[in-house]
Amino acid sequence: MDNMEMDELFDKLNALVKEKKYRELKAELIEMNEVDIANFMEDLNSEQTVVVFRMLPKELATDVFAALPVENQQQIITSITDNELSVIVNDLYVDDAVDMLEELPANVVKRVLKNSSPDTRKLINQFLNYPDDSAGSVMTAEYIGLRKTMTVRDAFEYIRENGVDKETIYTCYVTDDTRCLEGVITVKDLLMNPYETVIGDIMDDNVIKVTTTEDQENVAMIFNDYDLLSLPVVDNEDRLVGIITVDDVMDVMEEEATEDIQKMAAIIPSEKPYLKTDVLTLARNRIPWLLVLMFSSLFTGAILLKYENAFAAVPLLVTFVPMLMDTGGNSGSQASTMIIRGMAVGDIELPDAAKVLWKEIRVGMICGFILASANFVRLMIQYPGHTMISFVVVLSVFCTVIIAKSIGSMLPMLAKAIHLDPALVASPMLTTVVDAASLMIYFTFASRILGLMNN
Amino acid sequence: MDNMEMDELFDKLNALVKEKKYRELKAELIEMNEVDIANFMEDLNSEQTVVVFRMLPKELATDVFAALPVENQQQIITSITDNELSVIVNDLYVDDAVDMLEELPANVVKRVLKNSSPDTRKLINQFLNYPDDSAGSVMTAEYIGLRKTMTVRDAFEYIRENGVDKETIYTCYVTDDTRCLEGVITVKDLLMNPYETVIGDIMDDNVIKVTTTEDQENVAMIFNDYDLLSLPVVDNEDRLVGIITVDDVMDVMEEEATEDIQKMAAIIPSEKPYLKTDVLTLARNRIPWLLVLMFSSLFTGAILLKYENAFAAVPLLVTFVPMLMDTGGNSGSQASTMIIRGMAVGDIELPDAAKVLWKEIRVGMICGFILASANFVRLMIQYPGHTMISFVVVLSVFCTVIIAKSIGSMLPMLAKAIHLDPALVASPMLTTVVDAASLMIYFTFASRILGLMNN
């Protein structure tokens, strides 16, 4: 179904809701994917949301509930009975429940926890304690755990009995009596071996795993490197506490990329979608860096002012200032972007610093030479008389590009070396540093070559 | 195993290679994950690569081969016999083979194709024809296809017999005689139902699918929205031609995010890792936008020059130019970044334009007010006598921020509306447009309020 067909379907469903043709509506809904139902319900008003939710069959209802945004979840929670709430909460995967609870107001959280079974409540509380962005905060508790003495037949039986509630059944984890992780076996391995085979003989005991405190960005990198469907998470004693599934990792990847992109644009990152973020929050996320950058650019202004007699003597000089600053800024941010992204995806590491700098200097020389030449041609045509000024401009462009690329590539690595976030530190600071550098280069050349000032 | 342990292991393996202790080396290697072996082999020289590759057991060898970078693949191809090559090529998943062939020089490609079985060759040729970045270019041909008349028992038997070579067995596709896609069933469904159940009764016939020409960015969005492990790809006649698996989609997501980030930084995107890209290519990817932006910033320079008598009359004015331009640029790029990323992940669509503009105007008013106030306080302290100039600066900051946010949010949407890439068009162009706008605002206020010029 493409977007247009989906829009048509939604229009039809909306009409059914308005006309209160609930039987027809229900018939349509139960044929649909839970994600599509959730998308449809998002735009309903609070009352309609609850009506539609109540007409869903029980299992579908929980799946739809998990896929809804937290606003709609809250509407539903506040209008169903404790009993109904209890069923939903105990049916939710722990990671979905935790994601929801982190967003809900305290009184609603209290009611949800009151209506969970003691086991679920304990798990939820444990999960709520894992630091944000850690492996523990992304994992779920519902995995298939096997013993190595089981046969393939036992394993299948166990999966048939217990698999319905597990987030993934395709990778099973083999643990000992103390819940220590001993090995991993996929359903594919199980299917490819005779029923009598003992799990211990065919499991892979070289398990790729992480601890609960591992950064979620590294988790995403591990999934990507090893093409995993799920990854076991252990505590400090190597006991299996949960698994991370690939669908949650895709969310992490998108989130981390968005975060890096926002940081590079001098925005305090936020996970909420743009259209659902209120104006005040948007402003609050943008003002701090704007203020910092505004005041640091006063420094550039001070440099300009210092050379005001140069402007007075040769007014033409001022016309090249934006070009130089922009070219420096763009050259620098090209370099810093390559390095920040390269480090984020694991292509570039700190020991590569010298290699990177040497590379950027050469790239800078090539880019600088071409930009300077282009400028030279233009200046010769536009200001044929001003050979010396042209010379100053061309030389400044060349040097600015090289310096900008060097600073742009080294700032992120420096940030990383002192354990700061490269994206956060490097990009927003870069403009100011490079602006100042390019102006100083320009006026140094101008004063030396044109002999404008007394030095 | 963490990074440090891995480094130690690699050191040990390298020592074994150097001392030619091949038996011990082999014993270590066969215990390792194919991805780790590939990572280890990457840094070997050409001769060592081939020696190590030859000592791997056959099945492991193909997996390692698939995980190697194309340079090492080429080294191996050129030093093994036609027979060995034939085994490897026929064992590779079609998508991995195609990825490799797209990078290899023509004579090597010819040799590879000569040594593939006719079926493989036909598939490879077909896959090579799908446009870059399309669903067809990411998919693979190795899927489990079932018939709806089969029982669960039949299905398991079929999977046991044919599953080894399939890229994923966990989602099976049900087709009719003409290979038309009729439904989908997961191994979980199969496991949860009695052996006698007929596939047609339990399969899901509401299949989420894409056509071969679908953009890979949309494919990634569909995976993310519906939490899929694989997605069927059909041709125009709705015949199943292949599947896309989640591991390849993670690569697509990373690639698309990198591409967007590079475009926003005015770089022509490239898929190759930074350290493996030569200096000339890096320079070539950066020069075009630098040139375009350099020449367009001359426009800003021209505006500055036009107001040179204002500078001559009030030299202090020049000191605020970088601050205004930077603040405008930063405000604008914050807005454009939010919108470009929001459109990339599907949160914002074209019909939201009015909502977005109104939001950005309000965010701009808040940010502008705070930045203007901060400036006002500073100006009162630093230049107590220059009330009117301060007034000009403060007013300019306020208006520039609002204009910059409006332009910054609308440029990407405009680009999308005329079917251009928002990241490519909006970000690099933004600086120039906003620079010009902020200068014009500044000098308009300056000339009106300070009465500097004759208008």
Residue pLDDT, tens place only, A167-184: 888 999 999 988 899 999
Closest CA to B208 of B193, B218, B200: B218
Q: What percent of chain A has pLDDT over 70?
A: 98
Please tell me the distance from the alpha carbon of residue A431 to that of residue A329, in angstroms, as a whole number: 5
pLDDT grade, residue A245 (50/70/90)?
Answer: very high
pLDDT digits (tens, 9 = 90+) for B64-94: 988 888 888 888 888 888 888 888 888 888 8
Describe the crossing of helices A118-128 and A106-114 by its angle, rounded to 10 degrees. 140
pLDDT at A31 over 70: yes
- The answer to whether the Cβ–Cβ distance between A323 and B345 falls below 8 Å is no
pLDDT digits (tens, 9 = 90+) for B396-423: 999 999 999 999 999 999 999 999 888 8
Q: What is the pLDDT of residue B199?
A: 94
Q: Can you spell out the DSSP letters for B225-266?
A: HHT-SEEEEE-TTSBEEEEEEHHHHHHHHHHHHHHHHHHHTT
Given B138, B173, B206, the domain boundary residue is B138
Mean pLDDT in residue range B358-362: 96
Mean pLDDT in residue range B172-200: 92
Please tell me the distance from the alpha carbon of residue A162 to that of residue A184, in angstroms, as a whole number: 17
Is the CB of B241 inside 8 Å of chain A's CB atoms?
no
Please tell me the distance from the alpha carbon of residue B403 to that of residue B445, in angstroms, as a whole number: 15
- Measured between CA atoms, the residue of chain B closest to residue A428 is B330
Residue A180, domain member (yes or no): yes
B25: left (phi over 0), alpha (psi -120 to 50) or beta: alpha
Q: Nearest-CA distance from A115 to chain B in Å?
A: 28
Q: Return the residue matching tokens 């994206």.
A: A423
Closest CA to A265 of A174, A337, A204, A181: A337
Closest CA to A248 of A103, A100, A95, A142: A95
- The answer to whether the Cβ–Cβ distance between A342 and B273 falls below 8 Å is yes
pLDDT at B262 over 80: yes
Give the CA angle between residues A74, A80, A81 to the nearest 5°. 130
- Measured between CA atoms, the residue of chain A closest to residue B204 is A31
DSSP code, position B352: G
User: Are residue B256 and residue B350 in the same domain, yes or no?
Assistant: no
Helices assigned H by DSSP within B231-382: 246-264, 279-306, 308-313, 321-344, 353-382
Residue B25, domain member (yes or no): yes
User: Are residue A283 and residue A378 in the same domain, yes or no?
Assistant: yes
Q: Give the CA radius of gyration of chain B.
A: 30
User: Are residue B317 and residue B418 in the same domain, yes or no?
Assistant: yes
Q: Nearest-CA distance from A260 to chain B in Å?
A: 9
- The answer to whether the Cβ–Cβ distance between A266 and B333 falls below 8 Å is yes
Q: What is the pLDDT of residue A341?
A: 92
Is the CB of B128 inside 8 Å of chain A's CB atoms?
no
- The answer to whether the Cβ–Cβ distance between A322 and B325 falls below 8 Å is yes
Please tell me the distance from the alpha carbon of residue B442 to that of residue B372, in angstroms, as a whole number: 13
Residue B322, domain member (yes or no): yes
Is the CB of B158 inside 8 Å of chain A's CB atoms?
no
**Boundaries of domain holding B418:** 274-450
Is the CB of B418 inside 8 Å of chain A's CB atoms?
no
Cβ count within 10 A of residue B54: 13
Q: What is the pLDDT of residue A173?
A: 94
DSSP code, position B116: S
- The answer to whether the Cβ–Cβ distance between A274 and B339 falls below 8 Å is yes
- Measured between CA atoms, the residue of chain B closest to residue A282 is B363
Check residues A359 and A102 and name the one with the higher pLDDT. A359
User: Are residue A107 and residue A195 in the same domain, yes or no?
Assistant: no
Using CB atoms, which residue from B31, B163, B289 is nearest to A206?
A: B31
- Mean pLDDT of all residues belonging to chain A: 88
User: Are residue B249 and residue B283 in the same domain, yes or no?
Assistant: no
pLDDT at B259 over 80: yes
Which of A191, A197, A381, A442 should be substituted to probe chain B, the one whose Cβ sees the most B Cβ atoms within 10 Å? A191
Mean pLDDT in residue range B293-298: 83
Residue A435, domain member (yes or no): yes
User: Are residue B222 and residue B203 in the same domain, yes or no?
Assistant: yes
Closest CA to B10 of B29, B30, B27, B23: B29
Mean pLDDT in residue range A227-246: 91
Cβ count within 10 A of residue A51: 16
pLDDT grade, residue A336 (50/70/90)?
Answer: very high
CATH number of the CATH domain containing B381: 1.10.357.20
Which of A245, A334, A401 should be substituted to probe chain B, the one whose Cβ sees the most B Cβ atoms within 10 Å? A334
A294-298, A303-307, B168-172, B428-432: which is most confident: B168-172
Relative to beta strand A181-186, strand A210-211 is unpaired
pLDDT at B272 over 80: yes
Residue A109, domain member (yes or no): yes
> Which residues on B lie below 8 Å from A247 (Cβ)?
224, 227-228
Q: Can you spell out the DSSP letters for B123-177?
A: HHHHHHTSPTTBHHHH-BS---EE-TT-BHHHHHHHHHHHGGG-S--SEEEEE-T
With beta carbons less than 8 A apart as the criterion, state whether A192 and A183 touch.
Answer: no
In chain B, DSSP finds a helix count (H) and a strand count (E) of 22, 6
Cβ count within 10 A of residue A33: 18
Q: What percent of chain B has pLDDT over 90?
A: 36
pLDDT digits (tens, 9 = 90+) for B427-453: 667 888 898 899 999 989 988 888 765
B184 strand-pairing partners: B173, B204
User: Are residue B236 and residue B91 in the same domain, yes or no?
Assistant: no
Q: How far is CA A262 from CA A134, A266, B259, B332, in A?
A: 20, 6, 15, 13
Check residues B431 and B15 and name the one with the higher pLDDT. B15
Q: What is the pLDDT of residue A404?
A: 96
> Which residues on B lie below 8 Å from A275 (Cβ)?
342, 347-348, 352, 355-356, 359
Is the CB of B390 inside 8 Å of chain A's CB atoms?
no
Please tell me the distance from the alpha carbon of residue B454 to that of residue B437, in angstroms, as a whole number: 21
- Mean pLDDT of all residues belonging to chain B: 88
Q: What is the pLDDT of residue B175?
A: 92
Residue A265, domain member (yes or no): no
Q: Nearest-CA distance from A283 to chain B in Å?
A: 5
CATH number of the CATH domain containing B251: 3.10.580.10
- The answer to whether the Cβ–Cβ distance between B290 and A367 falls below 8 Å is yes
Q: What is the pLDDT of residue B113?
A: 83
- The answer to whether the Cβ–Cβ distance between A274 and B342 falls below 8 Å is yes
Check residues A242 and B127 and name the one with the higher pLDDT. A242
Given B264, B284, B314, the domain boundary residue is B264
Mean pLDDT in residue range A312-335: 86
Q: What is the pLDDT of residue B42?
A: 87
Residue B455, domain member (yes or no): no
Given B138, B172, B202, the domain boundary residue is B138
Tell how far CA A174 is from the center of its chain: 32
Is the CB of B50 inside 8 Å of chain A's CB atoms?
no
pLDDT at B291 over 50: yes
Q: What is the pLDDT of residue A455?
A: 39
Closest CA to B95 of B128, B61, B58, B73: B128
Please tell me the distance from the alpha carbon of residue B159 to that of residue B153, in angstroms, as a whole number: 10
Using CB atoms, which residue from B164, B170, B297 is nearest to A323?
A: B297
Is the CB of A263 inside 8 Å of chain B's CB atoms?
no
User: Are residue B172 and residue B89 in the same domain, yes or no?
Assistant: no
Q: What is the pLDDT of residue A69?
A: 87
In chain A, DSSP finds a helix count (H) and a strand count (E) of 22, 6
Using CB atoms, which residue from A229, A308, A312 is nearest to B229?
A: A229
pLDDT at A347 over 60: yes
Is the CB of B333 inside 8 Å of chain A's CB atoms?
yes
Residue B50, domain member (yes or no): yes
Q: What is the pLDDT of residue B455?
A: 40
User: Are residue B155 and residue B286 in the same domain, yes or no?
Assistant: no
pLDDT digits (tens, 9 = 90+) for A396-430: 999 999 999 999 999 999 999 999 888 877 766 78
Q: Nearest-CA distance from B91 to chain A in Å?
A: 18
Q: How far is CA A180 from CA A173, A175, B19, B305, in A?
A: 10, 5, 37, 73
Q: What percent of chain B has pLDDT over 70?
A: 98
Q: What is the pLDDT of residue B454?
A: 43
The pair phi, psi for residue A145, each rounded to 5°, is -110, 125
pLDDT digits (tens, 9 = 90+) for A106-120: 888 888 888 888 888
Sheet containing strand A181-186, edge to edge, reads A145-146, A171-175, A181-186
With beta carbons less than 8 A apart as the criterion, state whether A240 and A180 touch.
Answer: yes
pLDDT digits (tens, 9 = 90+) for A51-107: 888 888 888 888 898 888 888 888 888 888 888 888 888 888 888 888 888 888 888
- At B383, which amino acid appears? Y
Domains identified in chain A, total number: 3
User: Are residue B425 and residue B327 in the same domain, yes or no?
Assistant: yes
pLDDT at B279 over 60: yes
Interface of A with B in 178-237 (CB under 8 A): 187-188, 191-192, 206, 208, 223-229
With beta carbons less than 8 A apart as the criterion, state whether A140 and A95 touch.
Answer: yes
- At B449, which amino acid appears? I
- The answer to whether the Cβ–Cβ distance between A339 and B274 falls below 8 Å is yes
pLDDT at B185 over 50: yes
Q: What is the pLDDT of residue A141?
A: 84
Q: What is the pLDDT of residue B332?
A: 94
User: Are residue A153 and residue A183 in the same domain, yes or no?
Assistant: yes
Tell how far CA A92 is from the center of its chain: 24
User: Are residue B350 and residue B429 in the same domain, yes or no?
Assistant: yes
Please tell me the distance from the alpha carbon of residue A437 to that of residue A407, in angstroms, as a whole number: 10
* Contacts for A47 with CB less than 8 Å, ≥ 6 apart: none
